[in-house]
């Protein structure tokens, strides 16, 4: 009985020292102390601040995000709770649940000609995987388009090792250098590789895969400015942090556009 009382007392002490931290985009300030952030009236502001403090969280602590607000970025979990005292991420206030997102708005559009508009955003990194127009995901520009014959695939007749493919029907009217060639190397492998050179009927590429193409297999070209010819199709220029989108006769001012900038919203390595 005495031992049980000690265990219960110990748990009560641990719970009593648990802290709750508040985060709000509208009312937050990352310069506040951890003591101030334990008051919902003086919260922190960003996920960046949470990540810098996460290692200081203790089992039983809670981090609460303001309902109805959107928090940009990702959460890096680098501290574990315990079975009886987890570290809790939840919400406070009233309204809809808070949103954690990697989507950034695309604005300040510049007309580039031929129905294409461009938007620069420094938050975009080495890759962009998704572009949304009015919350609907759009296809990356590709040649041929996915709604054409053969479901948008060309056919290669031959290849040289894992460095080039040859298609007698491919012309050099467009230089596809700098784009990506997407090759169905077998029934269960589709690789995308950077095109390093395009000469006549031959495409040279830099492969990071050990899979070789097969003669008479399918391929298409994507992520090149010249693939844009259908509404919503997009191309991302990595070095310039610039998205190009095809609008045709329409303009981006009539739409809401977003792009993803982070691959993982929550990352955790060897934590629970």
Pairing of strands 202-206, 164-166: antiparallel
Angle at 191 between CA 165 and CA 158, to 5 degrees: 20
Question: What pLDDT, on a 0 to 100 scale, did the predictor assign at position 5?
Answer: 41
Using pLDDT thresholds of 50, 70 and 90, give the confidence band for residue 1: very low
User: pTM, whole model, 2 decimals?
Assistant: 0.78
Query: What confidence tens digit (pLDDT) does each residue in 225-272 have?
Result: 999 999 999 999 999 999 999 999 999 999 999 999 888 899 998 888
Distance from C-alpha of 151 to C-alpha of 144, rounded to nearest angstrom:
9
Query: What confidence tens digit (pLDDT) does each residue in 122-153 have?
Result: 888 888 989 999 999 999 999 999 999 888 99
Using pLDDT thresholds of 50, 70 and 90, give the confidence band for residue 16: low
Question: What pLDDT, on a 0 to 100 scale, did the predictor assign at position 208?
Answer: 87
Burial-class residue 7 by CB neighbours within 10 Å (0-12, 13-18, 19+).
exposed
| Contact (CB, 8 A) for 90 and 23 | no
Residue 115 to residues 234, 238, 253, Cα–Cα distance (Å): 12, 21, 14
């Amino acid at each position: 009985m005495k031992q049980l009382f000690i265990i219960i007392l110990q748990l009560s002490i641990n719970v009593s020292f648990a802290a709750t931290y508040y985060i709000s985009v509208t009312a937050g300030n990352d310069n506040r102390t951890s003591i101030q952030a334990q008051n919902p009236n003086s919260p922190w502001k960003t996920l960046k601040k949470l990540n810098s403090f996460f290692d200081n969280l203790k089992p039983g602590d809670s981090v609460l995000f303001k309902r109805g607000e959107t928090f940009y970025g990702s959460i890096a979990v680098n501290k574990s709770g315990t079975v009886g005292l987890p570290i809790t991420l939840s919400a406070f206030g009233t309204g809809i649940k808070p949103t954690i997102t990697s989507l950034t708005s695309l604005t300040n559009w510049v007309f580039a000609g031929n129905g294409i508009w461009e938007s620069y955003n420094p938050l975009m990194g080495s890759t962009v995987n998704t572009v949304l127009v009015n919350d609907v995901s759009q296809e990356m520009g590709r040649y041929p388009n996915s709604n054409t014959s053969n479901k948008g695939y060309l056919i290669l007749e031959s290849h040289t090792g894992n460095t080039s493919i040859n298609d007698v029907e491919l012309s050099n009217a467009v230089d596809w250098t700098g784009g990506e060639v997407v090759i169905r190397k077998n029934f269960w492998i589709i690789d995308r590789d950077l095109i390093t050179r395009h000469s006549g009927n031959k495409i040279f590429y830099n492969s990071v895969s050990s899979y070789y193409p097969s003669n008479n297999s399918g391929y298409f070209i994507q992520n090149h400015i010249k693939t844009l010819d259908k509404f919503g199709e997009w191309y991302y220029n990595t070095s310039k942090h610039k998205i190009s989108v095809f609008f045709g006769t329409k303009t981006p001012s009539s739409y809401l556009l977003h792009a993803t900038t982070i691959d993982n919203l929550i990352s955790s390595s060897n934590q629970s």
